[in-house]
Structure 1
Amino acid sequence: MPSQSSTTHHDPFSPEHIRATWSGTASVEDAAQAFGLSRSKSYDLVRRGEFPCRVLPIGRTTRVVTASLLRVLESGEPEYNTASSASTKAS
């Protein structure tokens, strides 16, 4: 098992690394790892509209908005999909 100090400096899910290497959207699986959640728990939260950051349903896939994920990681405050709910009601 790697030591805690070695993972801190090279954490692939740190906000700095995410900002430098991820594109505008990410997979639910990658976002789940960044939050320390399991894949199944993350998809359950997405289905219930309770995933801690904004998600975009695109066809049969769901993508996580990287900027939203970073805001949540840095602030600790969840950012749910309230905008998508409002646009659905307006249609």
Structure 2
Amino acid sequence: MPSQSGETPHGQFSPEHIRATWSGTASVEDAAQAFGLSRSKSYDLVRRGEFPCRVLPIGRTARVVTASLLRVLESGEPEYNGASSASPNPS
């Protein structure tokens, strides 16, 4: 359902709200809404390994790591699933 008139998804999907109400993982659909992406675009990014935050494949489904989602929302920097091996952190 669409959000109420005048209400932005940022309130429901703000880092504070997510931190207070979400568990350790979230559905791809919920994470997509937090990023303002469509469901189909999100699953396409998951399949390509380019979803903005860490995704755990569990059988035929996928779960988004809430801590990773929060870091991306707060920093604006994506954490692709293979990003840590591609570009190591400076020491």
Normalising by the residue count of structure 1, what TM-score does the alignment of the two structures yield? 0.82
Identity of aligned residues (%): 90
For structure 1, the 5+ residue unaligned runs are 87-91
Q: What residue is the counterpart of 1:58 in the other structure?
A: 58
Q: What residue is the counterpart of 2:39 in the other structure?
A: 39
Q: What residue is the counterpart of 1:2 in the other structure?
A: 5
Give CA-to-partner distance per residue, 1:23-47, whole Å, 9 cap, x none.
0000000000000000000000000
Runs of 4 or more, structure 1, over 2 Å off, are 83-86
Task: Report the residue type matching 1:21 in the other structure.
Answer: T
Task: Report the residue type matching 1:44 in the other structure.
Answer: D
Q: What residue is the counterpart of 1:30 in the other structure?
A: 30
Flag the structure with higher helix content: 1
Task: Report the residue type matching 2:59 in the other structure.
Answer: G
Task: Report the residue type matching 1:49 in the other structure.
Answer: G
Superposition deviation, residue 83 in structure 1: 7.2
For structure 2, the 5+ residue unaligned runs are 87-91
Q: What residue is the counterpart of 1:89 in the other structure?
A: none
State the Cα RMSD in Å.
Answer: 2.1
Q: What residue is the counterpart of 2:21 in the other structure?
A: 21
**Number of residues of Structure 1 aligned to a counterpart in Structure 2:** 82
Q: What residue is the counterpart of 1:68 in the other structure?
A: 68
